[in-house]
Amino acid sequence: MKMGAEPKKVAALAGLCVIALIVFYVNSGSSAPDAAPSVRTPVSNVSAPAPTARGDQRRQPNARGTLSEFKPRQGVRDPKDKPDPATIDPTLRLDLLAKLQSVMVGPPGRNIFQTGAAPEVKPVVLPKNVPKIVTTPPPTAPPPTGPPPPPSAPPMTFKYYGFTISKANGRKSAFLLDGEEILIAGENDTVKRRYRVVRIGVNSITIEDTQFKSTQTLQLQENLAG
pLDDT of residue 61: 54
DSSP assignment of 124-135 equals PPPPSSPPPPPP
Terminal-to-terminal C-alpha distance of the chain: 173
133-153 pLDDT, tens per residue? 878 888 887 777 778 788 888
- Please determine, for residue 4, whether its predicted confidence score (pLDDT) is greater than 90: no
Exposed/middle/buried for residue 209 (C-beta within 10 Å: 0-12, 13-18, 19+)? middle
Residue 42 DSSP label: -
Q: Which CATH architecture has domain 159-225?
A: Roll (2.30)
Helices (H), 53-113: 94-101
- Please determine, for residue 46, whether its predicted confidence score (pLDDT) is greater than 70: no
Pairwise CA distance, residues 52 & 71, whole Å:
13
Q: So where are the chain's domains?
A: 159-225
Query: Helix (H, G, I), strand (E, B), or coil: what is residue 172?
Result: strand
51-91 pLDDT, tens per residue? 544 444 455 555 555 666 777 777 777 878 787 878 888 88
152-185 pLDDT, tens per residue? 888 999 999 999 999 888 899 999 999 889 999 9
CA atoms within 13 A on the CB side of 36: 6
Closest by alpha carbon to 48, among 38, 61, 31, 66? Answer: 61
pTM (2 decimals)? 0.36
Amino acid at 120: E
- Residue 21: which H helix or E strand, with range? helix 6-31
The residue with greater pLDDT, 1 or 73, is: 73
